[in-house]
Structure 1
Amino acid sequence: MLLNRHLRSIYFDIKYGIPIVRSYCNLGIKMKKLNDRKEFEQALELFHKYEHKNSEIISDVAINQALKSFTNMEDFQGGSEIYQRYLCRIEKNCFTLASIIHFYMQSGDVNRAQEIFNKSKQKTMGIYGAMMKGLIKNDMLNETVHLFFQIPNPDEIVFVLFFHACARIGTEEALRLVKKVLSNLPNSYRENSNILTTAFDAFIKCGDLLFAEKLLPKIKKISMSYGNLMKAYNKNNQPEKTLDLYEQMKFDKIEPDVICYLLLVNACSNIGILSISQSIFEQIPKSFLDNSYIKNALVDMWGKSSCIDRAENIFQSLIQPDTIGYTSMINSYGLNGMGIQAIELFNQMPRELILEE
């Protein structure tokens, strides 16, 4: 009789316990969906609801999602409380450990993140990546590079973060390290587009345009990459190369974005030849011609191409010219021997814009 009662009790626990456990396992999935939709508060409400019922069977996945919710909401007190409640579990799970490092880095508490990182016994690529990403966010770029060289067998994300840090540093030493790491890339990563694209950006930011040009055929064919190189050409007084690169874009069937057209107009301003300016102008999509940055650049381009009437027309089409618009038009008058008009326009310039300068 006693045995039967005990067996019935076990049966009851199994029958009604399984759905509860399954429900708690599904909690992490439900929270992830809410986080993916940026419904962070709803994700935390769901977490607290289950936690109130039985915190002992909250899954590591759910804790991880809770940390992500707090991070995105920048609720650093709430995230710290979760860390304290589930400290032992968080520090034993590589995924939650990476999330808590990311959490403290986002809050600016680098020392706490470093302390947790140092205590971790088994550092995964995710943990290294969270640490590097956090150091970059907190402008600790040299520390990021130093950490990279301590990582055994870096993965794609770690290489990308390293090159990104070097691009931000932009020094000769950073360039030397970029070349060193790129030349020693494992064979499995030598054709990796994400890694090569970030290295390409690093070469540009570090001032080695020749190396960047060599990498261009190997990277993702996106407008931003071409734009970055165009910007570097313009900065280095090589506007003709900007125009050549535009021709390469057309050959590669890459549609330039508004930034690329802005850089092309800037290149034409530096060249100052009317026929070239006219040719580029005719290729700018009409939808971009209403952009205030494009208009300001066109005022400058037409002025430097000795076409003052067109510069005036563009300037007059500006609903509310800003400092750059006024300066471009005043400069255009000056370049074309129209000093009186330049002074008159300067006197019409709103006082607050003059004070901005």
Structure 2
Amino acid sequence: MNHFISIKLINYRVTSMKVFIKYLSTIQSNFDLGNEMKSCNDKKQFKKALELFDKHMKNNIETYSSLVITQALKACTHIKDFQRGSDIHHLISSRIQHDFHILTSLIHFYSYIKNNIPMKAIDLFNKIENPDKVIIIFVFNACAALGTSEALDLTKKTLEKMSKSLYSNSYILSSVLDALMKCGDVKYAESVFNSSTNKDLSMYGAMMKGYIENNDPEKAIELFKQVKNPSEVVFNLFFNACATLGTSESLDLTKKTLEKMPKSFYSNSYILSSVLDALMKCGDIKHAESIFNSSTNKVFSMYGAMIKGYTKNNCPEKAINLFKQIENPSEVNLIVFFLMLVLN
């Protein structure tokens, strides 16, 4: 009898050991897959990361580690693959409430995918009792993407409930300002901005962009004048504001600011495109041509600004001749070119 019990006990231990070894093997496999996917994502090889994920999809996704799932969602976010990301969400929905890392990745995913999907990010956010600063930024980004009265209401409520210690975080405040502006509450955004004692360039940028989007470029220009050392982004927004105004005063400001701008910024094609756009919309074709011709690194956005400017200033022949100078124009270039001619 004792001999029989001993054999049974040994068999039980062997079986338990096999299960444990299999469990360890699964953990190691998950760890290896997660790290391999992370390596791909770090190298911006997002499709390759998802190929690795798909290759192992035959296994039960419920056994996948948080690392594997979050890396898959990260890849989906970067390549804006909504279908695949939402499929993953569906497959691991039972784990969301108990896995903070996956929940954060899903909010990030839905915040940055367009087509009104940010609402899902907000739904997920409402399930979190004590969101950290990363998730709070994501939800403000989602509210900005929605730009609705409901999103505005959530932005304000989240801001009110937010820990006061986070009010010194410029990244959070920039996201708040962006959300408020995109939702159309300029006064509330101004109140938040003015009450901040730690304003940085990203906050100035959010306000300037908001003013332009809310058809108040004059305020964007006035705010620009308060910035001591504008970044490339802030300069770009300033020239956008001048282009929106299109007045002799904004032309004068464009020229003066261009003279004071650091020479290193002249290699930034986005800034030069905005400068050309401002000059053209303010009617100074010759100055725009001078800058365009002196540039040694012309990109299509610069050609676009000039072509659009020519058509706006009733110089269609110049627009056509300039388009002919573009080497190997793509189908997109052709579509943009004809749209410029039609819309101006």
Unaligned runs of 5+ in 2: 1-21, 325-333
Conservation of the 8 A alpha-carbon contact between 2:303 and 2:323: no
Look up the match of 1:174: 151
User: Using the alignment, how far apart are the partners of 1:255 and 1:79 within structure 2?
Assistant: 43
Aligned sequence identity (%): 26
**Per-residue deviation at 1:174?**
0.9
User: Using the alignment, how far apart are the partners of 2:200 and 2:153 within structure 1?
Assistant: 26
**Residue 31 (structure 2) pairs with residue 58 (structure 1):** no
Conservation of the 8 A alpha-carbon contact between 1:264 and 1:280: no
Indicate how the Cα distance of structure 1 residues 73 and 227 shifts in structure 2: closer, same or farther if over 3 A, else same.
closer
Indicate how the Cα distance of structure 1 residues 317 and 187 shifts in structure 2: closer, same or farther if over 3 A, else same.
closer
Conservation of the 8 A alpha-carbon contact between 2:170 and 2:202: no
The Cα RMSD (Å) is: 3.7
**Per-residue deviation at 1:296?**
4.6
How far does the alpha carbon of each residue in 1:255-304 deviate from its partner, in whole angstroms, 9 at most, with x for none?
321x3223323333424225434432322222333545544544454456
Match runs of 1:200-279 below 5 Å = 200-216=177-193, 218=196, 221-250=199-228, 254-257=229-232, 259-269=233-243, 270=245, 271-273=247-249, 275-279=252-256
Look up the match of 1:130: 105
Match runs of 1:287-306 below 5 Å = 287-289=264-266, 291-302=268-279
Look up the match of 2:47: 74
Match runs of 1:131-146 below 5 Å = 131-139=106-114, 140-146=117-123
How far does the alpha carbon of each residue in 1:23-66 deviate from its partner, in whole angstroms, 9 at most, with x for none?
xxxxxxxxxxxxxxxxxxxxxxxxxxxx9xx9467276445323
Look up the match of 1:325: 306
Conservation of the 8 A alpha-carbon contact between 1:197 and 1:220: no
User: Using the alignment, how far apart are the partners of 2:264 and 2:283 within structure 1?
Assistant: 25
Q: What amino acid sits opposite 1:150 in the alignment?
A: K
TM-score (norm 2): 0.68
Worse-matched range after superposition: 231-240 or 175-184: 231-240
Q: What amino acid sits opposite 2:221 in the alignment?
A: L
**Per-residue deviation at 1:132?**
1.5
**Per-residue deviation at 1:206?**
1.7
Look up the match of 1:26: none
Look up the match of 1:114: 89
Q: What amino acid sits opposite 1:65 in the alignment?
A: N
User: Using the alignment, how far apart are the partners of 1:290 and 1:207 within structure 2?
Assistant: 34
**Which has more radius of gyration?**
1
